Structure 1
Amino acid sequence: MDVEAVRTFVAVADGGQFQAAADELGITPQAVSKRIAGLERHLDVALLVRTPHGSRLSAEGRVFLRHARKVLAAVEQAERAVRPGSRSLRVDVLNRRIAPAQAVYRFYRSRPRTGLDVLARGQENAAQAAQAVLLGEADASFRALPADQVPAGISAERLLDTPVQLLAGPAHPLANATAIRPADLAGHRLWVPGIRPGTEWAAFYEALAGEFGLSIDARGPHFGDDALLDTLADSASAATLVGAGDRYLWPPAHDLRRIPLHDPTPVYPHTLLFRTGDRHPVLTGLRRHLRVTAPGTPGDAWVPRWACG
């Protein structure tokens, strides 16, 4: 069914004349007549009774009018739902405690009326997240996807390089260091539970370990961040790796230490994936905000060779 013909029929019904409908719609009376005739042929009924003074609804036209108004309302609602800026931007931050989530939160704080829906689709790897964006299940996703794996129709912009830090308890041999070279971690137990094979963070840690001769232990069940922090606080040997912008909270008695890595500084390359050509104004604002406010990439940064940008 031709939606414009339905719209024209409602305009004629409301105005009572083809000329009035033509003026309202910005078309000629002949175009109005053509649309109505096409609609009547499609329905195989006469919707209007022509009179010397205009048109009036037939019995079938009165019945159809009620439904026609609902059709037009549904079309308007559908258009409004997908029109840029008319709905909230759905952003996948991977995990609500890591740097992308904090960056999106700061963006929202800078413009609190912004329409945002924050997703945490950590069960997906980068390739799956890119497909979710392509299919419209999310509008954007922070991932670390190799440049040669970015699918057609997706743009990738590396907007947030997060330096990696050592997190250790007070009894750890490196606890009092002000900074550490990645190579100095060789021989120490780096416990990062919860790494899933096939994910981009697994690829990142594999590249990091291979580059600097590290041993990263992902064994054992991951009972959550609190259990990990409790273990680190009591251990003289185990430490973990975290992002500089990641949000961890622990009791003061834990006395955990964040120790920067430098010479070089490993950074996790958070890349924003979004549909090419997406004109959602909140997406445009978020990208602009991150370009201006995100910490700059350290001059001695190390990133995996496969990282975008």
Structure 2
Amino acid sequence: MDIEAVRTFVAVAETGQFQAAADELGISQQAVSKRIVVLERDLGASLLVRTSRGSRPSLDGQVFLPHAKKVLAALAQAERAVRPGSRPLRVDVLNRRIAPAQAVYRFYRSRPDTALDAVTLSEENAAQAARAVLEGSLDASFRALPADQVPAGIRAERLLDVPLQLLVGPAHPLAGKGQVQPADLVGHRIWIPGIRPGTEWELFYQSLSQDFGLSIDALGPDFGDEALMDALAGSGSLATLVGTDDRYLWPDNYGLRRVPLREPTPLYPHILLTRAEHRNPVLTDLRDYLRASRPQVDDEVWVPAWVSH
């Protein structure tokens, strides 16, 4: 069934005139007549009664009219649902505690009427997230995707570089430092539970370890962030790495310390992945917000060689 013929029938039924319907639809009266003929032939029923004063729905037309209006209303709703800016922008932030989630939350707070849906694809690696963006199940994802692995059709933008900090308990030998260099971490165990093989964060920490001679591991089971905080608080030798915007909570009596890393400052590059031709006003606003609010690092920085500079 031709949806434009259905639209034309509704216009004639409501205006009572072929010419009035033609004017409303921006077509000729002849085109209106042809569409009605085609629709009546497809349905096997006469939908309009022609009179000297115009046209009105026949008995079959009266039965068909409310259904036709529902079809047109459903089509309009479907079009609005996918029109850029109409449906919520679906953004993968990977983990609700880390910098992308905090940045997207601040963006939303600055524009509380924004249609936004933040999701966490924590089980997928960067390549899988990029594929989800290409397939349209995501509008955007924050991932540290190597430059040579960005698939065709994906736009990759470094809009959220996050400086790393050392997180240690009060008994750790570096706990009282105002800042430390990555080289100062040599010989200290850095434990980052939950690093999964084949993920971009595994590749990132491998690169960091190799470039500075660090001992970074994910040995043992991952019992969650609270268990990690417990372990740090009770250890004089254990440390982990967190981003400056990562949101971790612990009891006051744990006395955990965040120690900035400097000379150079390692940056974790959360790269925004979107479809190359994707047009969405909320996505444009998010890009502008990230550019305007990106942290300024007054120091030499380090990022892995595989990240696009």
State TM-score, norm by structure 1: 0.96
- Give 4+ residue runs of structure 1 displaced > 6 Å after superposition: none
SS where residue 35 of structure 1 aligns?
A: helix
For 2:297 and 2:92, the matched residues in 1 are separated by 22
Counterpart residue identity of residue 151, structure 2? P
* C-alpha distance after superposition, 1:197-232 (max 9, x if no partner): 011111100111111111112011111111101110
Contact 1:46 1:58 in 2 (8 A): yes
For 2:62 and 2:229, the matched residues in 1 are separated by 70
Considering only aligned residues, what root-mean-square deviation do their CA atoms show, in Å? 1.4
For 1:153 and 1:9, the matched residues in 2 are separated by 42
Contact 1:5 1:35 in 2 (8 A): yes
1:98 is matched with which residue?
Answer: 98
2:256 is matched with which residue?
Answer: 256
* C-alpha distance after superposition, 1:77-119 (max 9, x if no partner): 1001011111221111111110111111111121222221111
Contact 1:265 1:298 in 2 (8 A): no
Counterpart residue identity of residue 117, structure 1? D
**Structure 2 unaligned blocks of 5 or more:** none
* C-alpha distance after superposition, 1:262-304 (max 9, x if no partner): 2211100011111222222111111101101110355411111
2:307 is matched with which residue?
Answer: 307
Contact 1:233 1:254 in 2 (8 A): yes
For 1:92 and 1:298, the matched residues in 2 are separated by 29
For 1:56 and 1:108, the matched residues in 2 are separated by 51
- Worse-superposed segment, 47-56 or 118-127: 47-56
Contact 2:163 2:243 in 1 (8 A): yes
Distance apart, 1:308 and its partner CA: 3.1
1:229 and 2:237 aligned: no
1:277 is matched with which residue?
Answer: 277
* C-alpha distance after superposition, 1:52-76 (max 9, x if no partner): 3322323332222222111101100
Contact 1:48 1:55 in 2 (8 A): yes
- Worse-superposed segment, 199-208 or 142-151: 142-151
**Would the alpha carbon gap of residues 42 and 296 (structure 1) be closer, same or farther in structure 2, given more than 3 Å must change?**
farther
Contact 1:271 1:308 in 2 (8 A): no
1:112 is matched with which residue?
Answer: 112
**Structure 1 unaligned blocks of 5 or more:** none
Counterpart residue identity of residue 277, structure 1? E
Counterpart residue identity of residue 260, structure 2? P
Instruction: Map 1:206-221; keep pairs closer than 5 Å.
Output: 206-221=206-221
Counterpart residue identity of residue 97, structure 2? R
**Would the alpha carbon gap of residues 135 and 114 (structure 1) be closer, same or farther in structure 2, given more than 3 Å must change?**
same
SS where residue 176 of structure 2 aligns?
A: coil
**Would the alpha carbon gap of residues 151 and 298 (structure 1) be closer, same or farther in structure 2, given more than 3 Å must change?**
farther
For 1:3 and 1:145, the matched residues in 2 are separated by 44
For 1:110 and 1:59, the matched residues in 2 are separated by 55
For 1:108 and 1:294, the matched residues in 2 are separated by 16
Contact 1:190 1:239 in 2 (8 A): yes
For 2:220 and 2:80, the matched residues in 1 are separated by 49
1:161 and 2:158 aligned: no
Contact 1:161 1:297 in 2 (8 A): no
For 1:136 and 1:9, the matched residues in 2 are separated by 35
Counterpart residue identity of residue 52, structure 2? P
Percentage of pairs with the same residue:
70
Contact 1:144 1:308 in 2 (8 A): no
SS where residue 206 of structure 1 aligns?
A: helix
SS where residue 240 of structure 1 aligns?
A: strand
1:87 is matched with which residue?
Answer: 87
2:33 is matched with which residue?
Answer: 33
2:170 is matched with which residue?
Answer: 170
